[in-house]
Amino acid sequence: MSSKQFNVAIIGLGFGAEFIPIYQRHPQANMYAICQRTEDSLNEIGDKYKIKTRYQNYDDVLNDPNVDFVHINTPIPNHAEQSIAALKAGKHVACTVPMATSVEDCETIVNLCKETGLKYMMMETVVYAREFLFAKEMYENGELGKVQFLKASHQQDMDGWPGYWPGLPPMHYATHCVGPVLGLTKGQAEYVSCFPSGTIREEMHECYNSPFAIESTHIKFKDSDLSAYIYRSLFDVARQYRESFEVYGDKKAMEWPLIEGEPLILHTAKKPEPEIPEKIECPDYAHLLPDEIAPFTTGGVYGGEDGEDHLSFTQGAGHGGSHPHLVHEFLTALEEDRDPFPNAIQSANWTCTGIIAHESALAGGELKKLPEFTLS
């Protein structure tokens, strides 16, 4: 592995703080700077992790010539604006999901990457979760056979979360279920049809002019015989937190457990009916990582001696051990001067699938095409 190191500035220190110890131990990273508007929080995190360079103003980060890339972990409404500003300032961008909240902003990011040659990666956790990596390994080894269908869901209860969440259309933040169904075969969504179901509490309807409790979407893949089905809920639906993914091949099928902590289910064709399903304990994929960050695939490492865990561990099973894989993929892409996965175009296709799906829901399920810039 190269000895070259890249200076990272982490923007937003709620969820973002989980990545600090990973960058500090990764051989290709220098955990250079942190940025947080609240001074007390900034200094608390900076002191805890002994980070000297601290900013309260994002523009100051972008004006610092020592910053090679920003890792954005701010609220969803800020993602596009901050990503665009960073690319214009000559910084590579890693950004938590989703890429943006409008098709126009997604296109701006894609165009900036084309114009500048800078790297952009939407840090979608599900496509680096151990369960997805297991399915990916089976797919690449040919164990699934011909893939016939994919399905995913993301359900959660967002009551009590920050102010921009109430009333958010479910498909506006759908990358946790769009990502795996498109990402497994590196497919692209060409068009979608989405149906709403149920209604959320009336006081949330005006927030985004959307009353829908659940949005469910069929996705047609470009240049493929495949389609996928996804569904999403955020409020007023009784369900334990779930990120699920299912892939059905003609030889084998894998179903991500629908209840947290349960094993995967593997179905094998042509066995006697009672023997078709088999419970499988999902392996971890820490062996794919540098030794220095391999321990970060398991829960409990982020809290240190204090033992505190972010909501991604208490509600979300620690994102399937994905965080060190995300960091490693982006740093390796920078070192090798290649596109990370997902790159800007893929990130736009995944994000716009949800945005366009909500437009379809508003139109009663009308077929809606993805914009051309997400398919190039």
**DSSP for residue 223:** T
Give the pLDDT confidence score for residue 311 in this predicted structure.
Answer: 47
Q: For the chain, how many structural domains are there in total?
A: 2
pLDDT digits (tens, 9 = 90+) for 42-91: 999 999 999 999 999 999 999 999 999 999 999 999 999 999 999 999 99
- CATH code, domain carrying 133: 3.30.360.10
Give Cα separations from 38 to 41, 82, 140, 281, 319 (angstroms): 6, 17, 46, 42, 26
Q: What residue ranges of the chain have pLDDT lower than 70?
A: 1-3, 299-318
CA–CA distance, 57 with 144 (Å, rounded to integer): 49
pLDDT at 260: 81
pLDDT of residue 45: 97
Instruction: Judge whether 331 lies within some domain.
Output: yes
* Short-list 195, 202, 128, 154, CA closest to 363: 195
Q: Is residue 367 part of a domain?
A: yes
- What is the dihedral sign for C-alpha 301, 323, 69, 104? negative
243 token code pair: 């990120």
The residue assigned the tokens 């469910």 is 216
| CATH code of the domain containing 54 | 3.40.50.720
φ, ψ for residue 368, nearest 5 deg: -130, 130
CA-only gyration radius of the chain, Å: 20
Does 132 lie in the same domain as 76? no
Residue 362 sits in the same domain as residue 253: yes
Interacting residues of 355 by C-beta distance below 8 A, sequence separation 6+: 101, 102, 103, 106, 171, 172
Residues 133 and 119 in one domain: no
Residues 278 and 331 in one domain: no
Predicted confidence at residue 162, as pLDDT, reads: 75
In a domain, 86, yes or no: yes
Distance CA 97, CA 14 (A): 14
pLDDT at residue 140, as a whole number: 98
pLDDT value, residue 376: 79
Q: Does any domain span residue 313?
A: no
Is residue 239 included in any domain, yes or no? yes
Do 205 and 80 share a structural domain?
Answer: no
Query: 115: buried, middle or exposed (CB in 10 Å: 19+, 13-18, 0-12)?
Result: exposed
Shared domain for 211 and 139, answered yes or no, is: yes
Question: Using an 8 Å Cβ cutoff, are 118 and 327 in contact?
Answer: no
Give the chain's end-to-end CA distance (angstroms, integer): 32
Q: Is residue 308 part of a domain?
A: no
Asked if 135 and 97 sit in the same domain, the reply is no
Range of the domain at 328: 6-125+323-342
The per-residue pLDDT for 310 is 45
How far apart (Å, rounded) are the C-alpha atoms in residues 242 and 259?
7
Shared-domain flag, residues 228 and 333: no
Q: Do residues 155 and 219 share a domain?
A: yes
| Residues 7 and 30 sit within 8 Å (Cβ to Cβ) | yes
Please tell me whether residues 51 and 130 are part of one structural domain.
no
User: Does any domain span residue 228?
Assistant: yes
Check whether residue 367 and residue 244 sit in a common domain.
yes
Task: For the chain, count helices (H), then strands (E).
Answer: 11, 15
| 366 neighbors 360 (Cβ within 8 angstroms) | yes
Instruction: Look at residue 220 and tell me if it is in a domain.
Output: yes
Same domain (yes/no): 130, 108 = no
The Cα–Cα gap between 86 and 173 comes to 22
Integer CA distances (angstroms), 72 to 51, 94, 260, 327, in order: 17, 6, 28, 12
